[in-house]
Structure 1
Amino acid sequence: MGQPVRDGAELTQDSRPGRRLTWQWFLVVVVVYAAVIQGLGALIGVDTSYSDSQFPTTESLVRNALIPIGASIVFAAAVVTWLGWWGEVLHYRAPVRRWVRWVPISMLTVALVGINYGHLADQSLSLVACLLVLGLFVGVGEELMFRGIGVHVFRRAGLTEGKVALYSSLVFGLVHVSNAFGEGAQALLQALIVSTSGYFFYLCLRVGGIILLPMLVHGLWDTSLISNLVGDKPQASVGMLLILLLQIALIVVLFVKRHKIEPVLPAHYEPVTGPNPSAAGSV
């Protein structure tokens, strides 16, 4: 069995239960994950080029998003099950300073306030219900893949929390480049923005110590954004501006206070994420 390395901030690859997944193989998993979403979308998707809306009808939302993203959740859950990582994926033990709690609090508040309630009131009940399910699916699927599997891949590799946050967020952003197949060059800008959002969700994981918190924040965040894009006539709202302003504010605050995220820990502190240190096969 492996032992924690000298400073207690990093762990060796053999100190946790389950199979080992290298970062190279994690990238392969991410490619398959993106292929499931894009492939199913292309196979069963509905053509919406006639509309300015991303999801003009309930059918388009279900076939273009709900089914592909639902399948990606099944894929991600199957990977976690095969790896035997559920214990550490669900719970993340990495202390953080108290002020960082304002990241999930501010994101949840702005997401709830920013939902385009007036626009949704003009839509069918089925479309609104499917939008809420879509937000749930996005939160669960993407967090399971990137703050679940991704974060632990890099942490098991012995990286510091700063590098874990950086690399998992970059992969999270880069995978959204796959949207370029349907959205063109603007997907590149989206990938850059999403990378910063990935860092915010990572901090939510550390604040809550459980993956359910970033799932909730992520799901509401995307629900708020997509609430402007459903129906025959998409309608921008002040909520979108609030989300943009908060994103900018968080980037500035976290850049300024980036050295004040990690708490001062006792010299003997050793982070543990698995219930019982043991090791099985590797990939």
Structure 2
Amino acid sequence: MTTAKHEVPTPAVTGRRLTYLTFALIVVAYLAIIKISGTLIAGWADEDDTLTTRGVVFTMLIPLGLSVVFTYGVIAALGWWRPVMKDDRPVNRWVWVVPAILLGAILLGINYSALSEKGWLFIVCLLIATQFVGWGEEGMFRGIGVTVLRQHGLREGQVALWSSLIFGVVHLSNAFTGGGSGAIAQAAIVSIAGYFFYLTRRVSGSNAVNSVMHGLFDFSLLTGTVILLDQQAYVGTFAPLLAYPILVIILLVRRKSIEPAGRADATATPS
């Protein structure tokens, strides 16, 4: 069979096959590790906030670290290192605007003044913990999730849509751990963020870039909100939030030019 003149070949997914049900069970196990171990470890350490270095270690770093070990253990067991960590389905180069705007929002959103008062050990622990968030969630949803959907033959637009929706729906679990009705709005916002990270994976060709960006984005948000509640409000916190509508507008306007011309499968724009 010959390849069309401008068509980008679709690489086969190697390793074991994974059913949707098995993937769902893996996601549930991933969530259970974070929620249950987080509750048990925080209770054992008598810590219930993230305002101190000790609090970050016991409420975030340790349970999130366990989830990362689980995620990449699953990837290794499936034999999916390459399809998870490498993305061979490029998009047009202008899509680099997505990680560029996210990076700008991160740099503007970090509360440098308040962080400096916390000390270097707190900063390092928070950076590591948020990187665990990025590598864990991107490994699970943009890594394993995208690979599962592609393995089942979905068009790339469907992969973008469903991987982002799954990512958002999983965050509805926060409704049962103190998030309340706000978890629904969070799930919707997280779904949109999931699409941004999906495009970052595609344009960079690597799941590492979106993992690092994800962790830094969370780090930026936390420095201006949850972590530093004992500080005055930081106006830079709005920068990461403004990145969402800016990117949504850009992607809606240029949605038809995301995929390279002549590509066989459907556009990466969720529809």
TM over 0.5: yes
Structure with larger RCO (C-alpha < 8 A, sep 6+): 1
Cα distance between partner residues in 2 of 1:16 and 1:254: 28
CA 1:266/1:87 → structure 2, altered by over 3 Å: closer, same or farther? closer
Cα distance between partner residues in 1 of 2:124 and 2:241: 25
Contact 2:115–2:223 (8 Å) recurs in 1: yes
Match of 2:29 among 27, 32, 49: 32
Match of 1:91 among 80, 86, 97: 86
Match of 1:71 among 57, 66, 71: 66
CA 1:141/1:84 → structure 2, altered by over 3 Å: closer, same or farther? same
1:246 CA displacement: 1.1
Cα distance between partner residues in 1 of 2:13 and 2:169: 28
CA 1:74/1:125 → structure 2, altered by over 3 Å: closer, same or farther? same
CA 1:176/1:235 → structure 2, altered by over 3 Å: closer, same or farther? farther
Q: Which residue of 2 aligns with 1:62?
A: 57
* Structure 1 residues 61-107: Cα deviation after superposition (integer angstroms, max 9, x where no partner): 11111111100001101110111000111110112112111001111
CA 1:156/1:230 → structure 2, altered by over 3 Å: closer, same or farther? same
Contact 1:139–1:216 (8 Å) recurs in 2: yes
Which ranges in structure 2 are unaligned for 5 or more consecutive residues? 266-271
1:234 CA displacement: 4.8
Where in structure 2 are the equivalents of 1:1-283 lying within 5 Å?
A: 15-46=12-43, 54-180=49-175, 181-228=177-224, 229-231=226-228, 233-265=230-262
1:48 CA displacement: 6.4
For 2:173, the aligned partner's letter is: S
Pick which of 188-197 and 125-134 moved more.
125-134
Q: Which residue of 1 aligns with 2:269?
A: none
CA 1:10/1:93 → structure 2, altered by over 3 Å: closer, same or farther? closer
Cα distance between partner residues in 1 of 2:263 and 2:170: 38
Cα distance between partner residues in 2 of 1:176 and 1:114: 23
Contact 1:123–1:231 (8 Å) recurs in 2: no
Structure with a larger share of its residues in helix: 2
CA 1:234/1:146 → structure 2, altered by over 3 Å: closer, same or farther? farther
Contact 1:131–1:227 (8 Å) recurs in 2: no
CA 1:254/1:130 → structure 2, altered by over 3 Å: closer, same or farther? same
Q: Provide the alpha-carbon RMSD of the alignment.
A: 2.5
Contact 2:84–2:143 (8 Å) recurs in 1: yes
* Structure 1 residues 195-240: Cα deviation after superposition (integer angstroms, max 9, x where no partner): 0000000000001001111012111111100112224615432222
CA 1:97/1:9 → structure 2, altered by over 3 Å: closer, same or farther? closer
Pick which of 146-155 and 128-137 moved more.
128-137
1:9 CA displacement: 8.2
Which ranges in structure 1 are unaligned for 5 or more consecutive residues? 270-283
Cα distance between partner residues in 1 of 2:161 and 2:218: 21
* Structure 1 residues 150-178: Cα deviation after superposition (integer angstroms, max 9, x where no partner): 01000111011111011111111111112
CA 1:266/1:86 → structure 2, altered by over 3 Å: closer, same or farther? closer
Secondary structure at 1:95 match in 2:
coil
CA 1:231/1:109 → structure 2, altered by over 3 Å: closer, same or farther? closer
TM-score, reference length from structure 1: 0.84
